[in-house]
Structure 1
Amino acid sequence: MSDRAFARRVYLDAIGLLPTPEELNEFLADKQPDKRGKLVKRLLADNRRYAEHWLTFWNDALRNDYRGTGYIDGGRKQITDWLYSALATNMPYNEFVRELIDPVPESEGFSKGIVWRGVVNASQTPQMQAAQNISQVFMGVNLKCASCHDSFINDWTLADSYGLAGIYSDQPLEMVQCDKPTGHIAKTKFIYPELGDIDPQAGKPERLKQLAGLITSKKDGRLTRTIVNRLWAKFLGRGLIEPTDEMDNPAWDQDLLDWLAVDFAEHGYNLKHAIELILTSQAYQLPAVPITELQSKEFVFRGPVARRLSGEQFLDALAAVTGVWHEQPAAQVDFTVADPHLGRLAVEPKWIWSEAGAAERSEALTLYWRKEIHLAEAPTEAVAAVTCDNSFKIFVNGKEAGSGKDYTQPRLINLKPHLIQGKNLIAIEAVNGPGKPDDKSADQSNPAGLILYARVRRDEKTNGRPREKVMDFATDKTWLWSATKADGWEKTGSAASDWKPAAELGTMDMAPWNLGGKIKSVLAAGTLRGQVRAALVNSDPLMTALGRPNREQVVTSRSSAATTLQALEMTNGSTLAGLLERGAEHIVAGPSKSNRDLILTLYERALSRRPTTEEFRLAEEMVGAPVKKEGVEDLLWAMTMLPEFQLIY
């Protein structure tokens, strides 16, 4: 396959994004014989883009989403922050699996499952869900049928399912067949006893530890074969074993499967290593074949199957073309794990209060804070991370900008609409509530403190090159406080007679709050506001039509076949229409371009090539001269409907 086709394919497979024209041209201009391997390494080293792409795959498999059944009433728990961190740091897969089976608090949502409301089938209790999901995701074993009765499709029995489920139960489990109690108590056991036993007399924490140890043991070749088979299927369109959740089926190349699994274990269960191995293989670099190749009874590998973009990839590709991304993530994640640069602060924020010992004890009171800030220019970006023990309300130039009531969760406040060039006043009403009413000890601790970090930047150019002007500020001893709420205290030009300088309590990591990491995380999310990818937001009708599941069941692969719902949504759906309209508005409002330059830019962004003579002629007629928003919208729709845009060849 050509370098151009390879680059487009590998960008979408490794990080889920189209190559920018600049990235593609740099790769095409490289004459080194090993440039493909270097490109794969560079993409996999991009921790943030890698993690955000692979969230889609693992959210599907681990039933993790941002809203839906169970989240409101505590019957379900997200693992998003843990999962993002695990992907961004390339956690070894055996440790990844271990922390999902024998979970830490941040990862327990997977094995906890969903506590369904009302009366449910006995096969859907949380313990049975854990047995089904762990066996399916990590071992390619389907226990769903055997969770109701002895399976009709394989050799697994009801006792096998209940034996595995018992590991997660707080009490012995009575087996229930087709929703009828049998009167028999299941023996707690692992489904592969040849790998080891679970002590049924041990406490639940110890049983989970034993189960995690058995599944991640080097003796368990099922774990490694299952994941490398899933990766092969994801990149080449068909697993070495199909379906990928039925690992007892024969492989069409058992030697290759075994070699990939052994190599994966020998390289420290490194997922990126396994991905790199496949993406740099000769098999992966063959020209794509049509999906009809999979329908033949006697499968013969001739090359990767042409695959449809996932819903998230489609939306990200459209965003890359138009420049219009999602505003903010639906879940809280620490972006600094993937990109430490996002957590770097230009000045050091300090916890402040009216007296130096407030971090240990303070009376219940409300303080009024002021700080004058002079900005040489109006900012293009201005957000602040703020928190106060116990609550706060912030004003900028007399206008309320936000508030917070949970001091353990710093709030991100958008300051940009309120800041101006010149003098600005930041004012905060900070409340320290009374101590806990049930605390009867003589030495009651009631700490008080306020902290703020404002990231204030202006994008400009110096000698034609982009440059960022830093105008950050933070709480420190120069802030002034008063215990008196004077009229107009939050407005510029007003002042009270008793304003006093702040007492610095310590750095943002100080006890008892220990919020330095959260403050940096909140600021990082603010930095990326308006640049959020589809994997981090709630599903919408377009993503649903393009195959994003509701994640109430384990989904380890999505169908690449087109559906009627997809066709209707792509041709008449309001979601896509709205995205195209906003994208066209953004493009037209951007730097002025001739219709020729605009058409060339859009083709290079969307299709990684220039238009043909006939395509250019038609595009010119659509876009018009001067450029019209409606014409740009029509061109965007025409390009995104092309199989060339929607498929990974």
Structure 2
Amino acid sequence: MLFINFSAFAQTEVVEEPAFWLWQFLGRLHPLIVHFPIALIVVAALMELFTWRKFNSKIRPGIMILATIGAVSAIIAAPMGWLLATNEGTSGELLDLHQWIGIGTAILSVLTLFFLSKISRRPTRSQIKVFRSFLFLTAICVSVAGHFGGSLTHGEDFLTEVLPIGNTDESEIEKAPINLASYSSELSPEKEMKLIGEVRMVLAHNCYKCHSGAKIEGELRLDEKEYVFAGGENGQILIPGNPGESEIIRRINLGKNHDDVMPSKGKLLSKDERDLIALWISKGAPWPDGAAQQSVYRVAELAPRNPTLPAYKAGLDNPIDLWVDEYFQENKLEWKGVVDDKTYLRRIYLDITGMIPSPQELDEFRKDTRSDKRSIWLQNLLNKSDDYATHWLTFWNDALRNDYTGTGYITKGRYNITDWLYTSLRDNKAYDQFVRELLNPTEKSKGFIEGIKWRGTVNASQRTEMQAAQNVGQVILGLNLKCASCHDSFISDWKLEESYAFANIFADSTLEVSRCEVPTGKMAKTAILWEELGDIDSMATKAEKLRQLADRLVQPANGRMYRTIVNRVWKQLMGRGIVEPVDEMDNAPWSQDLLDWLASDFVENGYDLKELIYQIASSKIYQSQSIGYETYDAVMADDYKFNGMVRRRMTAEQFSDAVSEIVYPLFPDDAIKYNPFELQKPEHVTPSFARASLVANNPFLTALGRPNREIVSTSREAQGSLLQALELTNGERLNTALQKGAERWKTQLSDPVQITEELYLKALNRKPNEKELAIAKAALGAKPDAAKIQDLFWAVILLPEFQMVE
């Protein structure tokens, strides 16, 4: 549709008066009139192609009629579009694009008519060429304008949402998961504010494009309390305490094609979002005044703090254990017993190298009589730099959204940082230098802050500079800026202008602030989020601003940065952060002293990540029995009490590597997208199979929880899923590996007892008990064939004992 909005040029508006009915009527004829140029000019252009070699074709009169009517319609559609925009109150970036392309189409239509009159008599060759050029340009322009017009009426992703490829779900970046179970009990003041914040985020991400101060349809605004409760042209939209009688609940639950469904444009609300709004209304639809909500947000201290260690206790030689013991005493909790050698060795192997120890290594460890053998073996594993780097590459690939393939690599809108990342881990680069090189990057490390240059129409909160600000805030500082990239945050005190000031550091030129996708005309300042860390020269080049940012953020005075990384590593090893979620470092930790001490100790030890891992993994609490929970919600609950390591599932990469080592490689050597061993000496060293962390994502790894890494991922799904179950039981890749592995084992072992014992030792680091052996012997028979051996593989690798890090 052609849609032109000259009202954007208006400077002031004193009084809004009702529009004259005739102008409204003519404006609403715009969608009808505008279909003439779209259809007729495009058809005329296509017919013109058939006359390329013979201008005076029999279809020439038809082309002349179609081009004339189409061009005249395009010119008439322009003022009608202006009337429609003026009287219906539509605005925004998408409209601006539609507007200017529509203006261009109207101008091209005038020129097309002019040269049409020239060729109606005795056209010269040059006149024919000019006419055709303008006709084709007009056809292209009217098609593009029509696309943006359709996007205005049906939503920006109306055309692309059904495509199997190239469809980036922007909501994946904007929306956070909703935990309805956390609101099941009576609301505390803190939970009430969290509920309100989540409701307002749902409204902002789904409704503000039509119902906010920037654009008001149906006389309804949803961005401020008084307007929400006042309702729109059809009256109130909600009745506090009664979701069943609330109009908003009825509308958001209608089908996609219903006339009354809301949102009417774009994607419908998810079930969780609909349930959240219904829950909020059932709780009385709380919505405090603006002044009231500022006081409830917890803000973590920025400066470092090094608390005095508790008094020494016998058997607690690691300072971590002193803090844990103090916490246990305060909360009347008991220490769990220390795990046996098999469990500890398996635990540190999986946590440090991502692999399961071999039966030979376990036997050697058990025979080691040194009193400090656990610390020695732990340090030896950390010294295996390539194995350590290969495993921890997964953790950092998720956090830094680095992958080997994906959106942006084809168009050079994204850059791989794998070589820099792997060598940084292998060489144990100090974390302050690690961050410095991410923020003030070299050519090899620039991929993190470059952002992904998404194709198509992009909203302001996802421009690459804002992506950089969001990603740095999330990964380096444990801070969620996504809400405040579109409007003032509903879950913190961060303001839109502060997010833009931070994003401006990553920009080549000054950014204009857009609020809910509407440009405000205000240019952003340039500043770090905390003025205590220093200033950024707003007049400096981008390179200089990045250098200043790196210097300011990595300084020891930025205690938040170091609390964030020690909290992430603690979660990786212990199953749950001291603060949760790990990207919300303003939340209360279960032990402020432990968090502060770990961060200060990390800085004092030269920002050494391996030393941090050693400190945690050598503690008594790490070596204690793990804790199982019925649901993940219990682990993430606000009233969570730390009681030890949380039992957790293997990652997709750990599971894949274990199967590859024990049974048969899941990925061939040529599947490796980044081979670090090519960089090592001696050159002949290669892995015995392709480690999963080094291969591109695929349906198998996706099913087991590996994210696509087009956005930052700092936590993986902890619970099993139907997709995972289907892949493990019916997936082609795993089935093929087990088949080939069974054939290979059959040629090496024929005795059912040997086969069973060998498998149990390699997979579970123990021999089968009598009952397990009897079941296996009965299943395998006297002379096991490959199919029966494969069934045994299935039975063992699906055991929780195999899949869990205990």
Instruction: Tell me whether 1:38 sits opposite 2:376 in the alignment.
Output: yes
CA distance in structure 1 between the aligned counterparts of 2:607 and 2:520, rounded to whole angstroms: 42
How far has the Cα of 1:325 moved from its partner? Answer: 5.2
**Of 112-121 and 561-570, the range deviating more from structure 2:** 561-570
Partner of 1:245: 583
**2:696 maps to which of 526, 538, 551:** 538
CA distance in structure 2 between the aligned counterparts of 1:295 and 1:263, rounded to whole angstroms: 26
Instruction: Tell me whether 1:198 sits opposite 2:527 in the alignment.
Output: no
Instruction: Tell me whether 1:565 sits opposite 2:723 in the alignment.
Output: yes
Is the CA contact 2:399–2:714 (under 8 Å) kept in the aligned structure 1? yes
Partner of 2:160: none
What amino acid does structure 1 have at the position aligned with 2:646? V
Is the CA contact 1:324–1:586 (under 8 Å) kept in the aligned structure 2? no
Change (3 A) 1:295 1:554: closer
Partner of 1:611: 768
How far has the Cα of 1:330 moved from its partner? Answer: 3.6
Instruction: Tell me whether 1:171 sits opposite 2:509 in the alignment.
Output: yes
Change (3 A) 1:540 1:585: farther
Secondary structure in 1 matching 2:444: helix
Partner of 2:752: 595
How far has the Cα of 1:537 moved from its partner? Answer: 0.6
Secondary structure in 1 matching 2:682: helix
How far has the Cα of 1:297 moved from its partner? Answer: 4.7
Instruction: Tell me whether 1:52 sits opposite 2:390 in the alignment.
Output: yes
Partner of 2:714: 556
How far has the Cα of 1:329 moved from its partner? Answer: 4.8
Partner of 1:640: 797
CA distance in structure 2 between the aligned counterparts of 1:86 and 1:57, rounded to whole angstroms: 13
How far has the Cα of 1:605 moved from its partner? Answer: 0.6
How far has the Cα of 1:593 moved from its partner? Answer: 4.9
CA distance in structure 2 between the aligned counterparts of 1:13 and 1:205, rounded to whole angstroms: 37
Q: Which structure features the higher share of strand residues?
A: 1
Change (3 A) 1:296 1:551: closer
CA distance in structure 1 between the aligned counterparts of 2:575 and 2:353, rounded to whole angstroms: 17
Q: Over residues 412-457 of structure 1, what are the superposed CA-to-partner deviations in whole Å (9 max), with x where a residue is unaligned?
A: xxxxxxxxxxxxxxxxxxxxxxxxxxxxxxxxxxxxxxxxxxxxxx
Q: Which of structure 1's runs of 4+ aligned residues deviate more than 4 A?
A: none
Partner of 2:657: 316
How far has the Cα of 1:49 moved from its partner? Answer: 0.9
Is the CA contact 1:336–1:342 (under 8 Å) kept in the aligned structure 2? no
Secondary structure in 2 matching 1:287: coil
Change (3 A) 1:586 1:99: farther
CA distance in structure 2 between the aligned counterparts of 1:47 and 1:131, rounded to whole angstroms: 32
**1:287 maps to which of 610, 625, 637:** 625
CA distance in structure 2 between the aligned counterparts of 1:266 and 1:222, rounded to whole angstroms: 15
CA distance in structure 2 between the aligned counterparts of 1:119 and 1:296, rounded to whole angstroms: 39
Partner of 2:63: none
Partner of 1:342: 682
CA distance in structure 2 between the aligned counterparts of 1:11 and 1:279, rounded to whole angstroms: 11
How far has the Cα of 1:83 moved from its partner? Answer: 0.8
What amino acid does structure 1 have at the position aligned with 2:781? G
Q: Which has the higher contact order (CA 8 A, sep 6+)?
A: 1
What amino acid does structure 2 have at the position aligned with 1:320? E
Q: Over residues 492-513 of structure 1, what are the superposed CA-to-partner deviations in whole Å (9 max), with x where a residue is unaligned?
A: xxxxxxxxxxxxxxxxxxxxxx
Secondary structure in 2 matching 1:291: coil
Matches within 5 A, 1:95-114: 95-114=433-452
CA distance in structure 1 between the aligned counterparts of 2:435 and 2:670, rounded to whole angstroms: 29
CA distance in structure 2 between the aligned counterparts of 1:334 and 1:235, rounded to whole angstroms: 25
Is the CA contact 1:47–1:89 (under 8 Å) kept in the aligned structure 2? yes
Is the CA contact 2:666–2:737 (under 8 Å) kept in the aligned structure 1? no
What amino acid does structure 1 have at the position aligned with 2:647? A
CA distance in structure 2 between the aligned counterparts of 1:227 and 1:246, rounded to whole angstroms: 12
How far has the Cα of 1:588 moved from its partner? Answer: 2.6
How far has the Cα of 1:278 moved from its partner? Answer: 0.5
Matches within 5 A, 1:206-225: 206-225=544-563
**1:303 maps to which of 641, 644, 651:** 644
Is the CA contact 1:324–1:582 (under 8 Å) kept in the aligned structure 2? no
Secondary structure in 2 matching 1:105: coil
How far has the Cα of 1:552 moved from its partner? Answer: 0.9
Q: Over residues 136-185 of structure 1, what are the superposed CA-to-partner deviations in whole Å (9 max), with x where a residue is unaligned?
A: 00100100111111110111111111111111111110011111101000
Change (3 A) 1:12 1:121: same
Is the CA contact 2:664–2:738 (under 8 Å) kept in the aligned structure 1? no
**1:255 maps to which of 593, 599, 613:** 593
CA distance in structure 2 between the aligned counterparts of 1:336 and 1:537, rounded to whole angstroms: 15
Is the CA contact 2:579–2:587 (under 8 Å) kept in the aligned structure 1? yes
What amino acid does structure 2 have at the position aligned with 1:300? K
Partner of 2:525: 187
Partner of 1:331: 673
Change (3 A) 1:332 1:575: closer
Partner of 2:343: 5
Secondary structure in 1 matching 2:670: coil
Unmatched segments (≥5 aa) in structure 1: 344-522
**1:132 maps to which of 470, 485, 498:** 470
How far has the Cα of 1:620 moved from its partner? Answer: 1.9
What amino acid does structure 2 have at the position aligned with 1:617? A
CA distance in structure 2 between the aligned counterparts of 1:600 and 1:31, rounded to whole angstroms: 26
What amino acid does structure 2 have at the position aligned with 1:188? T
Identity across matched positions, percent? 48
Q: Which structure features the higher share of helix residues?
A: 2
CA distance in structure 2 between the aligned counterparts of 1:296 and 1:184, rounded to whole angstroms: 41
Q: TM-score if structure 1 supplies the norm length?
A: 0.70
Q: Over residues 448-479 of structure 1, what are the superposed CA-to-partner deviations in whole Å (9 max), with x where a residue is unaligned?
A: xxxxxxxxxxxxxxxxxxxxxxxxxxxxxxxx
**2:357 maps to which of 11, 15, 19:** 19
How far has the Cα of 1:295 moved from its partner? Answer: 5.6
CA distance in structure 2 between the aligned counterparts of 1:329 and 1:262, rounded to whole angstroms: 42
How far has the Cα of 1:619 moved from its partner? Answer: 1.5
Is the CA contact 1:84–1:333 (under 8 Å) kept in the aligned structure 2? no
What amino acid does structure 1 have at the position aligned with 2:468? A
**Of 624-633 and 176-185, the range deviating more from structure 2:** 624-633
Aligned residues: 464
CA distance in structure 1 between the aligned counterparts of 2:736 and 2:604, rounded to whole angstroms: 49
How far has the Cα of 1:296 moved from its partner? Answer: 5.4
Pick the structure with greater CA Rg.
2
How far has the Cα of 1:566 moved from its partner? Answer: 1.6
What amino acid does structure 2 have at the position aligned with 1:342? P
Secondary structure in 2 matching 1:342: coil
Unmatched segments (≥5 aa) in structure 2: 1-338
Change (3 A) 1:217 1:329: farther
Q: Over residues 27-57 of structure 1, what are the superposed CA-to-partner deviations in whole Å (9 max), with x where a residue is unaligned?
A: 1111211111111101111111111111111
Partner of 1:379: none
